């Protein structure tokens, strides 16, 4: 069982994830990604799916054509946990590689 981050931990971690926005219902973090076309967007989704499966922590996500909206939250913690932060960092690293 993984716990929800405290307010201080959350603020500290989010400082290192400037592209992600805190959202409510469910409490989590969200980022929009835009690509040149569907092929590029779905290629990215496939890489994220592999990361998610490896971490056994999965996104809530929406795609239309070249746009991917990812929300990360931890249902077991009823909010934002370290698992979300770790997955967000791994996703960001795909794009900076």
Interaction residues for a second copy, span 25-64 (CB under 8 A)? 38-39, 42, 45-46, 49, 52-53, 58-64
Q: b/e per residue, 47-85, with b = 16+ CB within 10 A?
A: ebeebbeeeebebebebeeeebebbbbbeebebbbbbbb
Binding status of residue 76 toward a second copy by CB under 8 A: no
Q: Would you say 63 or 79 has its CB closer to a second copy?
A: 63
Where along the sequence are the contacts to a second copy (CB under 8 A)? 38-39, 42, 45-46, 49, 52-53, 58-65
């Amino acid at each position: 069982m993984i716990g929800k981050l405290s307010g201080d931990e959350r603020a500290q971690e989010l400082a290192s994830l400037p592209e992600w926005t805190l959202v409510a219902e469910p409490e989590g973090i969200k980022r929009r990604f835009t690509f040149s076309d569907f092929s590029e967007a779905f290629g990215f989704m496939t890489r994220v799916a592999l990361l998610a499966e490896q971490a056994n922590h999965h996104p809530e996500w929406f795609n239309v054509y070249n746009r991917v909206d990812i929300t990360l939250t931890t249902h077991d913690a009823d909010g934002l946990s370290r698992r979300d932060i770790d997955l967000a960092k791994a996703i960001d690293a795909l794009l900076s590689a």
